[in-house]
Amino acid sequence: MVAERKMQPLPPPEHRRALRFVAFLAVSLLAFSCWALVNSRINDAVPDSAALMGDADRMPALAGEEGARRPTPAASAAVPASGGAVRLMSDPVIREPLVRVGGGGDGERSGRCDADTAALRVFVYDLPAEFHFGMLGWDGKGEAAWPDVRDARAAPHYPGGLNLQHSVAYWLALDILSSTLPPGGGSGAAGDSRPCVAVRVTNASLADVFFVPFFASLSYNRHSKIRRGERVNRNRALQAELVKYLARREEWRRWGGKDHLIVPHHPNSMMEARKRLSAAMFVLSDFGRYSPDVANLKKDVIAPYNHVVRSLGDDESPAFDQRPVLAYFQGAIHRKAGGKVRQKLYQLLKGERDVHFTYGSVRQNGIRRATAGMSTSKFCLNIAGDTPSSNRLFDAIVSHCVPVIISDDIELPFEDVLDYSEFCLFVRAADAARKGFLLRLLRGVPRDEWTRMWRRLKEVARHFEYQYPSRPGDAVQMIWGAVARKMHSVKLQLHKRGRFQRTGWES
């Protein structure tokens, strides 16, 4: 019977070769499609991180460039759910569909903004009101921990003038409080248009970062004087209370505060507590008044000053020929320490007809004059003062006046995603002090080159706007993005250190 087993006759050798070739083709095709599938998954998960690392400001703009500069709720278009960030901190999550910003009345967000979709999950400490909105006259009457932020116009206002320069904590607080508002609240409601970079979580074990909502800069501005009946000033007392509060918290003790976010943006703010709380990530204007062990670029984030001059719209920005002043500087000439170069430059430039170089700070009607002065100048000088940074740089940017940065130790906001050399000139202090150097340099910049930088300034200016409700790519979102990226490397160090630290279950 064995003989009866039907054997297929073997195909002739050339057919066998053809068959083997077909089989080989099929396997190759299968392998290729697997590879392509995996690859597309990876690309889905990271496109924005690549964008962030490369150039965040090429994120899709809202309704064209102008809409992005001066958005109105009705003119807004679709924006990415993450506002150009990728989920960095916890489980890898595929990028969410687009967020639709409330236009034409339907006002609904088609994507969610929640713990799964945001790049950064933020736990907000319910500090007593005296640490934050209480300073703005808000009082929860013992019922509410936080003001109602649904209507942007009704949210507590920050005092204006020069106070505003360091108002970073206020804008971050408003934004994160609004992150859990339901979308579709109607015209201008904060929940509608908010980009989803950071989201508030109330479950601490889900948090990537713990936000300490202390308005430290305002506390310094407002409460530094000792009042009658006080032994220490209120600014100091609040800091002492904050240190005690955090030291008691389990969340702080877990990593010694390293995953905490504190915003002492004014160079003199949190003078007393900064060392005690230095494990935390700080949001600062510069490192000028910090020792490197208390603050450094490894753990901290540099945020822009809120500009004090009015922002120029794209279409009202004078071009090269409408800016008769070659170089503009207004500020105090006599400065301590790093500011010597100011005096030197003043001596070198004061006689030049197309240079505006004057004493006096930007105040009251000075603000109007500075707005006019910067917007009719080709270059705006940013010279180190008693701190390496100043609001002048951001005033220049929103005036589309090409900044000339003469400050060897300056740290710049978002420099990991922004290439400042595209829209600023950098001059070493030693060079600037040489006779004729600066004028030769500035007069030698060809009109085309200047115009290229001016165009770029108009594009990047929106990254330096603080506003509420926040908009994609504005200063608030850029800060959250920077915090997410930095927290990434902080967590790497923490997790590495924790490799051999057991939780106790194995005893």
Positions in the binding site for ligand NAG (CB under 6 A): 203, 205-206
How far apart are CB 149 and ligand NAG at their closest, in Å?
24
How far apart are CB 90 and ligand NAG at their closest, in Å?
10
* Cβ neighbours for 503, distance < 8 A, ≥ 6 positions apart: none
Q: Which is nearer to ligand NAG, 205 or 501 (CB)?
A: 205
- Burial of 439 per CB tally in 10 Å (0-12, 13-18, 19+): middle
Q: Which of 169, 419, 415, 411 is nearest to 292 (CA)?
A: 411
Q: Which is nearer to ligand NAG, 116 or 130 (CB)?
A: 116
Q: Which is nearer to ligand NAG, 203 or 421 (CB)?
A: 203
How far apart are CB 183 and ligand NAG at their closest, in Å?
23
* CB atoms inside a 10 Å sphere around CB 206: 13
How far apart are CB 203 and ligand NAG at their closest, in Å?
4
Q: Which residue number is nearest to ligand NAG in terms of Cβ?
A: 203
CA 368 – CA 241 distance, rounded (Å): 40
Q: Which is nearer to ligand NAG, 207 or 326 (CB)?
A: 207
How far apart are CB 126 and ligand NAG at their closest, in Å?
16
Q: Are 235 and 224 in contact (CB under 8 A)?
A: yes
Q: Which is nearer to ligand NAG, 206 or 337 (CB)?
A: 206
Helix (H) or strand (E) holding 378: strand 377-383
CA 501 – CA 483 distance, rounded (Å): 26
Helix (H) or strand (E) holding 36: helix 13-45
* CB atoms inside a 10 Å sphere around CB 422: 15
Q: Which is nearer to ligand NAG, 122 or 341 (CB)?
A: 122
For 323-359, the DSSP string reads --EEEEEES-S--SGGGHHHHHHHHHHTT-TTEEEE-
- Burial of 185 per CB tally in 10 Å (0-12, 13-18, 19+): middle
Q: Which is nearer to ligand NAG, 14 or 126 (CB)?
A: 126
Q: Are 189 and 181 in contact (CB under 8 A)?
A: yes
Q: Which of 262, 256, 259, 220 is nearest to 237 (CA)?
A: 220
Q: Which residues of 257-271 are buried (b: 16+ CB within 10 A; e: fewer)?
A: bbbbbbbbbbbebbb
How far apart are CB 206 and ligand NAG at their closest, in Å?
5
* Cβ neighbours for 396, distance < 8 A, ≥ 6 positions apart: 374, 380, 382, 402, 403
CA 471 – CA 71 distance, rounded (Å): 8
How far apart are CB 223 and ligand NAG at their closest, in Å?
36
Q: Which is nearer to ligand NAG, 123 or 454 (CB)?
A: 123
Q: Residue type for 448, please? A: D
Side-chain-side CA neighbours of 371 within 13 Å: the count stands at 15
Q: Which is nearer to ligand NAG, 93 or 367 (CB)?
A: 93
Q: Which is nearer to ligand NAG, 8 or 205 (CB)?
A: 205
Q: What are phi and psi of 120, to 5 degrees?
A: -140, 125
* CB atoms inside a 10 Å sphere around CB 303: 27
Q: Which is nearer to ligand NAG, 203 or 365 (CB)?
A: 203
Q: Which is nearer to ligand NAG, 150 or 249 (CB)?
A: 249
How far apart are CB 211 and ligand NAG at their closest, in Å?
18
How far apart are CB 500 and ligand NAG at their closest, in Å?
24
How far apart are CB 227 and ligand NAG at their closest, in Å?
42
CA 472 – CA 462 distance, rounded (Å): 9
